Amino acid sequence: MVKLIRATAWLVFFFYFHIGNAQSVSADFNTNTDFKKFKTYAWLAPGDSVLNRPSAAKLFGGYIEKAANAELKNRGLKLVNEQPDVVMMFYTSVEEFTKYSQSATLSVGVGVGVGAPGYYGGGYYVGGSVPVAGGKITATTLEDGSLGYSMFDTVTGKVVWTCKAEKQFKMSDDIAKIINDYTVKIFKKYPLKKVK
């Protein structure tokens, strides 16, 4: 069962991290699934849980699970250690890129005109400008980040719900706040609303 869930998880991982990046939240779920029957859940460790190799997802794992636990609790699910109805898995991706911008350039304009005298007379006019100063180029390092959650039915071993958020950010930003804010946005796409 765990091997089947891991194999499916890698397919979900591959699918989500090979599509274009944009600041968005997208979700998919099995419309034939009765989500009200799920009362308990457990977490599947991100990455290689057998060999316990380092994983980017593990760096902020505590923040990610804490944010998701609050959202799952609000939807009537309880975290357990044994025989859960569903298994949850999170995954992250961060890709660094550099954004370049250029300051305003001072230009000198040059114009030449040849034409017949008179109002609105015909003729040929040429204009143009030549940059002479400015144009400083600034490089800014940003991150394209993805955070996703998948839910697996422990009876069938299939994915029943998956959702991912993408955002550009700087490493100097409050990462814990970004994780919390986007987890809330992600779980707005969960098929069940918050329990009142």
- Hey, where are the domains in the chain? 2-100+144-187, 101-138
* Residue range 93-97: mean pLDDT, rounded: 76
Query: Rounded CA gap, 176 and 183, in Å?
Result: 11
Cβ count near 9 (within 10 Å) = 19
Q: Which residue has the higher pLDDT, 174 or 22?
A: 174
What is the rounded radius of gyration, in angstroms, for the C-alpha atoms of the chain? 27
pTM above 0.85, yes or no: no
Alpha helix (H) residue ranges in the chain: 2-16, 56-59, 61-73, 175-187
Q: CA–CA distance from 100 to each of 22, 50, 97, 183 (Å)?
A: 18, 42, 10, 30
Query: Rounded CA gap, 39 and 35, in Å?
Result: 9
Q: CA–CA distance from 63 to each of 48, 87, 132, 176, 177 (Å)?
A: 19, 18, 51, 6, 9
* Residue range 163-175: mean pLDDT, rounded: 82
* Residue 100: its H or E element: strand 86-102
Asked if 148 contacts 90 with a C-beta cutoff of 8 angstroms, the reply is: yes
Residue whose structure tokens are 């350039």:
105
Q: CA–CA distance from 95 to each of 21, 92, 108, 145 (Å)?
A: 10, 10, 41, 7
pLDDT, one tens digit per residue, over 100-152 is 777 765 555 555 554 444 444 444 445 555 555 556 787 777 777 888 999 99
| 47 residue type, one letter | G
Domain 2-100+144-187 has CATH 3.30.160.670: yes
Residue whose structure tokens are 């009765």:
34
Q: CA–CA distance from 73 to each of 79, 135, 151, 178, 195 (Å)?
A: 8, 53, 14, 20, 9
pLDDT, one tens digit per residue, over 29-60 is 989 999 999 999 999 876 544 445 555 556 67
3-state SS assignment for residue 8: helix
The size of the chain, in residues, is 196
| 119 residue type, one letter | Y
Orientation angle between helical segments 61-73 and 175-187, nearest 10 degrees: 30
So what's the pLDDT on residue 155? Answer: 95
